[in-house]
Structure 1
Amino acid sequence: MTAVTPSALEARAALALPYTEVDDMFIHGAWTPALGTDRNPVTDPATGKVWGSVPDGTPEDVDAAVASARGAFDGEWPRLAPSERAAYLLRIADEVDTRAKELSLTNTRENGSPVSESAGAAANAAGIFRYFATLAGYLEREDVRAFPKGGGESVVRRDPVGVCALIAPWNFPINLVVIKLAPALLAGCTVVIKPASPTPLSIRLIVDAVAAAGVPAGVVNLVTGSGRLGDALVKHPDVNKVAFTGSTPVGRKIAAACGELLRPVTLELGGKSSGIVLPDADLDAMSKVLIRSSMRNTGQTCYISSRILAPASRYEEVVDMVTATIAAGKQGDPLDPETMFGPCATESQYRTVLEYVESGLAEGALATTGGRAATLGGGLEGGYFVEPTVFAGVTPDMRISREEIFGPVLCILKYDDVDEAVALANNTTFGLGGLVFGRDPEAALAVADRMDTGSVGINFFASNHAAPFGGRHDSGLGTEYGIEGLNAYLSYKSIHRKPLSGPITPTIGG
């Protein structure tokens, strides 16, 4: 793989990146000292060195944050007109834009996302706030529905669900909070945010933007800490809804707790998605979107198609293209703008990915590129780098074909006909993403329709802020993005009445 260049290391040194140690959490509109004394370190996965720390919160910190959110929910915020809350979202978006560089650098230092990826985080987050601001009219539109047999009508109210716990993962620590925060705020909810313990600092910049936008005290609160803090938040008696993005095993535990409490929950969990290469696919075009679609963020993306299903008639051709494309991607310092593949985000994930690579080799798969830990010099010797790896000769029963790896590993399987390809794509406990590569748009759409998954891309994959995103089966419950994502933060009330006079004219909001 590509070694680190002196110029990249000089650029890292020139940034004069500071050691960042904070002692506070954001509660009731102010940065407030944590109540405990325990600390969580923040490690740069490119070097393996600690560069900061935050408080490891206590149940008392959670109590204070939830009480603040409850007080704000009982106050003015949910009683503002949706258009007034939308104006706050627009101001937050503007403030986020001004923090773009600091957000990118902090994100990259926390989880190793290349700056070529994290540089767009602020713009994407601001875009999410701006999109949801456009839905204020949906909430303000009167919804009156006539009884089917006449004699009355129902006024349908969309009320905010209440205090929401927003629990984020480490792979996209900014946008996977914002996709929860923006609709919650527009709906009139108040929130307590709990970031993943490896990535607690970048979200502080979003909270700074919220404060700078003038959002009332208590509407947004932030606590930091380990998984036990998230557990306390999920089970807190004054929390009305939970939204979580993360692993399927943790999602199951959260679902069980919310089920016991009859508490609504949105879960966006893991995936093991497939990219079906149809016999007529344009492989040159596919190569241009392959890394973004199948190994984005060094493979640490939930929806990517980490299994490539290739027709037997073109199998070797597909293997050659995929191998060449991945091998050409530069691996190195994630602060270098030319880097495509950075480190695994944590030491634990690094060891997990290497275990999967060893499993693939032991079960007979062929590593056509990569297949081991990456050795990088120039100060990055302690980083958590795994060579981007492509496995050919993969069969459906192998662990690397069945289980989510969440690292820079691609598997290529062979199929004989399209029916078999669809069966292979659907032969998984997950159902989050997927791809179809083909020149015939109607044929590609027909295959996409047969895939049992929440989202499918045809010749590319991207999230659309206006379209629902969610998983099936072990990939989660509920949806984010779109008007459906806003509805997840609403509770409905029907007020039945008889009209005072005149005919009933239903006006259904939509």
Structure 2
Amino acid sequence: MSSPVGTVESGGAGFSARERALPLSHPDRLFIGGQWVAPTTSSTFAIIDPTTEELYYRVAEAGPEDMAKAIAAARTAFDRSEWPLLAPAERAEWLRKIADGLRRRAADASHLWTRQVGVLHTMSSASIERVGAHYDYYADLAADFPFEVRHRPLQGAFGNVVREPIGVVGAIVAWNTPMSLAAYKVAPALLAGCTIVLKAPPEAPGEAYVLAEVAEEIGLPAGVLNVLTADREVSEQLVRDPRVDKVAFTGSSGVGRRIASICGDRMARYTLELGGKSPAVIFDDYDLETAARSLADAECVLNGQVCSSLTRIIVSRHRHDEFAEALGAFFGSVRVGDPYDPASQLGPLAMERQRDRVESYIAKGLAEGGKLVTGGGRPDFERGFYIQPTVFSGVDNQATIAQEEIFGPVLSVIPADDEEHAIQLANETVFGLNATVFTNDVDRAYRAARRLRAGTVGHNGYRTDPRMGFGGFKQSGVGREGGRDGLLPYLESKTVILDEIPSGYEPLV
């Protein structure tokens, strides 16, 4: 049996990367109130390299007292500092400093990402370089976003609608893309004037610690950003605490429902970016091999651990077998291996429990009548949490693998009677995060896009653009992240009506 680590010769990229020192200064501490403080407990989380199954490092586990301290620091920074009173343009300068700092630390963050969850290093290097641009985007938004809108009131001489920071934000991010997910929350929250407690995922906390180190380096005011790693019980404390005005969460729909119920009970604001079971609809005018190659390539991203993956592929019944064979050929030929090997196209799953989860779904797919076209097992490696790229055909739309999020490289091909039936099947799910339509007719694509119940609908491939906003319908979430819409949840609108025009303002013409 061979090991994927052995695909890279000694002294090559994979081995040299694993010999690098951990690029974190204080993994044994928590970033609270602008300082690295010792936790109140001796507990730690073990971060396991999914390629080698060996310990990578340990990080401090925050206890209830630590979470309370972080919330208090954020509350004090919001209530008693100048931060929420700064002009948006002043806060934008801090965002630019963060962006520059993250670019300086891009190599460190990319190695952490690969070592923690197994993402291909070619992808982690390219993607991490773009994270700073998200902070720059919100910095640029300060110039023309309508933080104030003048009105002519029915009574009085001066009317103004001002958008003010919502307050203290509890941000909770998932383990698959933690630095990007944090950026989608931290950047708009900071521009709005909020203060933040960022709860890092226990499986992949390193990128959040890099962000904290950047905040320390640039001198971000104390308490504006606090970073710690905690388990579910202490994370729920962040959601329940009345000092937290808003919760921004990315993760599973089950946890999202729990957060919504807690926040609803105390009328706290929340945004939820949750799971998906996203359809790709292939119309009869589109080339099957082109669609198969596009979908196989897209499913390699993050080793299939993407909430918006196009995993339900709907194709006309009379073309079903031909497409399933083409998809199986492309996806089955994907090279699985060490994420540091440039030749690898698919790395390991992030954790042993994640591999167990994917394997359980594959077993359900077989038990419920799906036909295995390719994959279904583990590659012949001695170690690593690997799973073969897997394709099922002839999948009933109500089957478990067609309805539940698997979060791994497993694709289901579903036959449809005609175009109308295909749209119906695509919408028959509790999720509504992403979708795409394969057709050579752009007008047909647009008509279908307007009928698909999804937060994003692409054309002829996997498409997202955070600058335009990202989020879902139904159980895929509440609210949007990214773009101008992603700033609004961190602001409260206040109507001000005065008898006279205050100084600094001119009469409306």
Q: How does 1:43-442 map to 2 (within 5 A)?
A: 43-74=48-79, 75-139=81-145, 142-147=148-153, 153-376=158-381, 381-442=382-443
Instruction: Give the whole-Å Cα distance in 2 for the aligned partners of 1:229 and 1:242.
Output: 14
Structure 2 counterpart of 1:443? 444
Q: Given the two structures, how large is their TM-score scaled by the length of structure 1?
A: 0.93
Larger deviation, residues 354-363 vs 335-344: 335-344
Instruction: Give the whole-Å Cα distance in 2 for the aligned partners of 1:306 and 1:214.
Output: 44
SS at match of 2:467: coil
Q: CA shift at 1:188, angstroms?
A: 0.5
SS at match of 2:261: helix
Structure 2 counterpart of 1:24? 29
8 Å contact kept, 2:147–2:163: no
Q: Given the two structures, how large is their TM-score scaled by the length of structure 2?
A: 0.94
Q: CA shift at 1:140, angstroms?
A: 6.2
Q: Which letter does structure 2 place at the counterpart of 1:49?
A: E
Larger deviation, residues 138-147 vs 319-328: 138-147
Structure 1 counterpart of 2:508? 505
Q: Kindly tell me: are residues 503 and 188 of structure 1, through their superposed partners in 2, closer, same or farther at Cα, counting changes over 3 Å?
A: closer
Q: Which runs of 5+ in 2 are unaligned?
A: none
Q: CA shift at 1:288, angstroms?
A: 4.7
Q: Which letter does structure 2 place at the counterpart of 1:146?
A: R
8 Å contact kept, 1:99–1:122: no
CA deviation map 1:396-423 (0-9, x unaligned):
1211111111111000011121110000
Larger deviation, residues 337-346 vs 267-276: 337-346
SS at match of 1:439: coil
CA deviation map 1:326-381 (0-9, x unaligned):
122211111223222111111111111000001111222111110112221xxxx2
Q: Kindly tell me: are residues 144 and 17 of structure 1, through their superposed partners in 2, closer, same or farther at Cα, counting changes over 3 Å?
A: same
Q: CA shift at 1:275, angstroms?
A: 0.2
Instruction: Give the whole-Å Cα distance in 2 for the aligned partners of 1:311 and 1:211.
Output: 56
Q: Kindly tell me: are residues 132 and 500 of structure 1, through their superposed partners in 2, closer, same or farther at Cα, counting changes over 3 Å?
A: closer
SS at match of 1:419: helix
CA deviation map 1:17-61 (0-9, x unaligned):
446782101111122111111111111111221111111111111
Instruction: Give the whole-Å Cα distance in 2 for the aligned partners of 1:240 and 1:150.
Output: 32
Q: Which runs of 5+ in 1 are unaligned?
A: none
8 Å contact kept, 1:299–1:406: yes
Q: CA shift at 1:500, angstroms?
A: 5.5
Structure 2 counterpart of 1:39? 44
Q: Kindly tell me: are residues 5 and 58 of structure 1, through their superposed partners in 2, closer, same or farther at Cα, counting changes over 3 Å?
A: closer
* Length, aligned pairs only: 501
CA deviation map 1:282-302 (0-9, x unaligned):
345434532454452111101
Larger deviation, residues 343-352 vs 201-210: 201-210
Instruction: Give the whole-Å Cα distance in 2 for the aligned partners of 1:385 and 1:345.
Output: 9
CA deviation map 1:81-127 (0-9, x unaligned):
11111111111111111111111110111111111221123222111
Q: CA shift at 1:5, angstroms?
A: 7.2
Q: CA shift at 1:76, angstroms?
A: 1.2
SS at match of 1:137: coil
* Percent identical: 37
Q: Which letter does structure 1 place at the counterpart of 2:124?
A: S
8 Å contact kept, 1:354–1:373: no
Structure 2 counterpart of 1:4? 4
8 Å contact kept, 1:82–1:139: no
Cα RMSD (Å) of the superposition? Answer: 2.2
